[in-house]
């Protein structure tokens, strides 16, 4: 009987040991598989972070000569990313960039080759990087100066009017487009990226006064959120240019020869006329003031006169077009506040930090300005190839 009890005890102990061994083995296997799964998930997350960093690199390369607005690293819930700098120029506007993604202890690396294409900064009739404020009355539409002068008579054989009078901002807060008066936009209103309800950012929005860029008008695309912020590269006055005050006296005409000019304060007095005999770029580091009944630019080709407004250490500039005047040209002032007062008519484009319209302005965007790529330092980007780099 005692031998039978001993045998039973030994068998029980053997079973306990066997079960314990199996349990430990299964536990270790489970922990190992969990570690493998966790590492695999981390590697996937690191891959996606490195891949997403390529998109960030594409945004950086839209303004390759401006490094101050580049974002080269970031942290997300799944880990961090890094864009290696500097990017490597391959010539012919091609660049090579490398990126990294980190999740837990895992790192993945990517390499991409990007082709740049010069792009015009003049893509809107009216654009305020931070704010567009309309307290008066205004209308916007478009035309193409290469086809002739603006003509909105649909029965005319020389009809030349379009529906691309877009108004835009990079702002993403309510009131960044504020309409206290009235504005008829024959085009779209575009707000900054990521807006779930773009219309909520436009104070005073009335769908009856925005065509959405279609004929007949469509309320389904009146106000849209941009895919990405519109880059606004800073204006840098070329070295060697002397900048002094200049005034075009009333009842006189000044014709500038082709070239580049710089003025501290530029004033065109009432009934004055500032034009050119060829393409000119005019830098203004103080104030540009076009007074009543003045004419600025080249009527048959607004792209012939391009204004660049440069910020100074004193702060935001005030540029004004006022009175019953006509302006043929393009204005770019990424650090400027531009005020349009009185009954001004503008053929071209106005791009500034802040734009205020308080008069009865007519803005006719010149679609030919989409070919003007000489002054902005802005580029479109196209991904030619990408690959993962070995560990």
> What is the rounded (10 degree) CA torsion for 83, 85, 89, 93?
50
pLDDT in tens, 56-114: 999 899 888 877 678 899 998 889 999 998 889 999 999 999 999 999 989 999 999 99
Whether 165 and 185 have beta carbons less than 8 Å apart is answered as yes
pLDDT > 90? residue 13: no
Q: Taking the complete model, does pTM exceed 0.85, yes or no?
A: no
Do 135 and 55 belong to one domain? no
Whether 164 and 190 have beta carbons less than 8 Å apart is answered as no
Do 100 and 195 belong to one domain? no
Do 57 and 73 belong to one domain? yes
Do 344 and 279 belong to one domain? yes
The predicted pLDDT at position 218 comes to 77
Do 196 and 265 belong to one domain? yes
Tally of structural domains, the chain = 2
Query: Burial of 46 by CB count in 10 Å (0-12 exposed, 13-18 middle, 19+ buried)?
Result: buried
Do 303 and 385 belong to one domain? no
The predicted pLDDT at position 28 comes to 66
Do 94 and 158 belong to one domain? no
Do 231 and 105 belong to one domain? no
Domain CATH code at residue 86: 3.30.1300
pLDDT band at 228 (very low <50, low <70, confident <90, very high): confident
Do 273 and 319 belong to one domain? yes
pLDDT band at 269 (very low <50, low <70, confident <90, very high): very high
Do 79 and 133 belong to one domain? no
Beta-strand relationship, 305-309 and 88-91: unpaired
Q: Higher confidence at residue 319 or residue 8? A: 319
Do 102 and 134 belong to one domain? no
pLDDT in tens, 193-216: 999 999 999 999 999 899 998 888
Do 179 and 138 belong to one domain? yes
Whether 376 and 65 have beta carbons less than 8 Å apart is answered as no
What secondary structure does DSSP assign to 242-284, as a single string? --EEEEE-TT-EEEEPSEEEEEEEEEE-TT-EEEESS-EEEEE
Which domain range does residue 45 map to? 2-118+379-389
């Amino acid at each position: 009987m005692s031998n039978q009890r001993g045998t039973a005890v030994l068998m029980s102990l053997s079973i306990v040991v066997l079960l314990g061994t199996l349990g430990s083995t299964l536990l270790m296997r489970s922990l190992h598989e969990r570690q493998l799964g966790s590492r695999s998930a981390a590697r996937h997350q690191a891959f996606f972070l490195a891949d997403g960093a390529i998109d960030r690199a594409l945004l950086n390369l839209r303004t390759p000569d401006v490094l101050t607005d580049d974002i080269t690293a970031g942290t997300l819930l799944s880990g961090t990313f890094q864009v290696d700098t500097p990017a490597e120029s391959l010539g012919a506007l091609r660049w090579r960039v490398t990126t990294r993604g980190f999740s837990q202890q895992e790192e993945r690396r990517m390499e991409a080759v990007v082709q740049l294409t010069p792009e015009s900064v003049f893509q809107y009739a009216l654009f305020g990087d931070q704010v567009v404020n309309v307290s008066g009355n205004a209308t916007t539409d478009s035309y193409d100066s290469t086809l002739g002068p603006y003509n909105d008579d649909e029965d005319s054989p020389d009809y030349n009017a379009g529906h691309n009078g877009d108004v835009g901002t990079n702002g993403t807060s309510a009131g960044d487009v504020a309409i206290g008066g009235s504005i008829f936009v024959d085009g779209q209103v575009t707000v900054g990226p990521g807006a779930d309800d773009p219309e909520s950012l436009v104070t005073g929005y009335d769908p009856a006064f925005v065509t959405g860029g279609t004929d007949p008008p469509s309320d389904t695309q009146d106000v849209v959120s941009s895919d990405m912020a519109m880059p606004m590269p800073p204006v840098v006055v070329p070295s060697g240019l002397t900048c002094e005050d200049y005034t075009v006296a009333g009842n006189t005409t000044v014709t500038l020869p082709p070239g580049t000019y710089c003025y501290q304060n530029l004033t065109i007095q009432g009934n004055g006329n500032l034009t050119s005999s060829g393409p000119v770029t005019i830098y203004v580091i103080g104030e540009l003031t076009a007074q009543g009944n003045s004419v600025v630019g080249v009527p048959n080709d607004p792209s012939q006169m391009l204004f660049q407004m440069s910020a100074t250490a004193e702060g935001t500039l005030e540029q004004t077009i006022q009175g019953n005047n006509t302006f043929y040209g393009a204005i770019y002032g990424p650090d400027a506040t531009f005020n349009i007062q009185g009954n001004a008519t503008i053929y071209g484009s106005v791009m500034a930090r802040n734009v205020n319209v308080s008069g009865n302005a007519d803005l006719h965007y010149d679609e030919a300005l989409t070919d003007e790529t000489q002054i902005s330092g802005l580029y479109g980007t196209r991904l030619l190839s990408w690959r993962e780099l070995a560990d």
